[in-house]
Amino acid sequence: MPTPDAKTYSVRNIAGDSVGEIELSSAVFEAEVHEHLLWECVKWQLAKRRAGTHSTKRRGEVHGSNKKPFKQKGTGRARAGSIRAAQWVGGGSVFGPKPRSYAYAMPKKARKKALRAALSLRLREQKLVIIDSFPVEGGKTSNVVKALGTLGMPQPAASALIVAPGDNVELVRGARNLPKSKWLAPEGINVYDILNHETLVLTAASAKAVDDALQP
């Protein structure tokens, strides 16, 4: 039995022909688009990806003597206790970066809301395509390119995010060499990749899985 807020959306095949309809929740695919929330989610994702391996040497880590370079008084120079201090050439850094993690927490509800907004944005822009399945004969990249071209995304110029189950091994293999397009499993769909590609392609099974996972 369909849910009260369910709407029907057209389903195509890889030849570009309409082959039916699918019922999906409008709360997920026609949600309000919060631009600031999308920005926050992308910032959070990119922060998690940062390696944070930058490192500078502090005063105790650089080579050099700890001996006082000259006497405290009578030279007319500013007093100095070590040539490893920051003001000396080759001295240690004072407030330089050290290895750290840039990751921080973002509320789960906010992440789901941002993902619903990204999906809704692509639907509003008419850049969301739902297909019944994505067969790729022989797992060849050329066959993936041909299918995307038929769907209105000629390669290599077009940028498409293909979301399909991981058991479609031939699609996974065929999509590896696409220069601007990418394959993702439905459980890996995220705001950054949706916004980073011009068009979102969902298989019917993936659309259902995403719909179930993102219910408010």
Tokens of 92: 């240690």
At 3, is the pLDDT very low, low, confident or very high (cuts 50, 70, 90)?
low
- The pLDDT mean for the chain works out to 94
pLDDT at 165: 95
Q: Is the pLDDT of residue 2 over 80?
A: no
Integer-rounded Cα Rg, in Å, for the chain is 27
Strand partners, 200: 128, 161
What is the pTM (predicted TM-score) of this model?
A: 0.86
Q: What is the DSSP string of 62-118?
A: S-S--S-SS-SSSSSSPP-S-TTSTTSTTPPPSS------------HHHHHHHHHHH
At 4, is the pLDDT very low, low, confident or very high (cuts 50, 70, 90)?
low
Question: What average pLDDT score do residues 170-199 get?
Answer: 95
1 CB neighbour count, 10 Å cutoff: 4
Alpha helices in the chain, H assignment, sequence order = 26-29, 35-49, 108-124, 141-150, 169-174, 191-196, 204-213
Q: Is the domain defined by 6-50+103-213 classed in CATH 3.40.1370.10?
A: yes
Q: Is the pLDDT of residue 156 over 90?
A: no
Per-residue pLDDT tens digits for 38-78 = 999 999 999 999 999 999 999 999 999 989 999 999 999 99
- Per domain, the residue ranges of the chain are 6-50+103-213, 52-101
